[in-house]
Structure 1
Amino acid sequence: MSTSKGDCPPVTELDVQHDINTGNAAPIMMKRRHQAQTEYAVIEDNVAKMLQAGVIEKGNGAWGFPVVLVRKTDGEVRFCIDCRALNKVTKRDVYPLPRIDETLDALRGARLFTTLDLRSGYWQIGVAPEDQDKTAFTTKQGLYRFVRMPFGLMNAPSTFQRMMNEVLRGLTWTTCLVYLDDIVVFTRGGLESHLVQLATVSERLSVAELTLKLKKCVFATRQMEYLDMSSAVMAYAP
């Protein structure tokens, strides 16, 4: 099981990348939005960190989208790219995400749980070289493009779920469940059985060079919170 203490994990060793199929659509270059000086400082700080981490690089293509800053409920500001115009011309990937009701059914009767969280999961997948220009964004300092898969792209969840289903093929629904970068290992037996199952899942993640965010992982607990979606926390206990 690979772990990381930094903000940016390595790219997975799997043969997977994110494609952005825009067909014959013409390149889109959108006007940069005005930001206050305090917002600009946040943007430049994020850009500097992503450049250093190898998440982005300088761009020189014909595509470009504006940066938006989104304030989260805890007050932290999240750096985002407004990809709506790009998503409108992108061919949809219909690969499905797991149904939550089926996830609930699979967990019934389980006695022990371990929840695993991938560190910056999307950044562990590279963007196809021929599509990197389509991820570009503009700042006062110029044009940059993503080398690793960013949030906001229409098909990013499908790309990520497809990869995780492949990594954990044969284990999902019986040993573990995976919803994007959230993994839960569940056991209907005792601690010994749970540790064996956890080791099996961990080995799969290690082979794929997928990196965990340890501070968000919870091991061998009798109750948990999973899939906090639309303010509905799913809690399970034996």
Structure 2
Amino acid sequence: MPFGLKNAPSTFQRLMNTVLSGLRGLHCYIYLDDCILYSADLPSHIDKLTLVLERFCQNNLKLQPDKCEFLRREVTYLGHVITDAGVSSYPEKVRAIEGLPAPKNPKDVKSFLERRRFHWTQEQEFAFQTLKQKLISAPLLQYPDYSKPFILTTDACNYAVGAILSQGEIGKDKPIAYA
């Protein structure tokens, strides 16, 4: 597929969704040309890897060996670090947030919060530092256990919505995903 075409990414994603139909979410995740497989043990991982590679062969898709990593216990995928323990933020992104200076003018605030009004006091400075700390120390996302019930916590206002999918005892639940 030629580079630079306006619809190339969506066309390629549609192709990958079709090629890996029935495997996505059960054996692998795919985002454009980034494909990640996950398994509980090595034999099942080899089976899943074989399935995915067979699909690529059947559809005449080629892999670049120097861009492939196999049998990893930790991977960086779409800005996250994924291990058998869960999903965490990529350290470089955390460092970028740590290094954010406090806004000094309305333009800085707008770029951070997309707001126009500006009046910076100690209260705003404390809130900004607290927000940075919360973003840096985001909890490890857990893997879902489909045999247990899920908890969906939502909130909304006139200009935003948010949700947390978690599992566990209420008050001690562990996050699985944020939206």
Report TM bin, short chain: 0.3 to 0.5
Q: Which has the higher contact order (CA 8 A, sep 6+)?
A: 1
Larger Rg over CA atoms? 2
After TM superposition, the score normalised by the length of structure 2 is 0.45
User: Per residue, is there more helix in 1 or in 2?
Assistant: 2
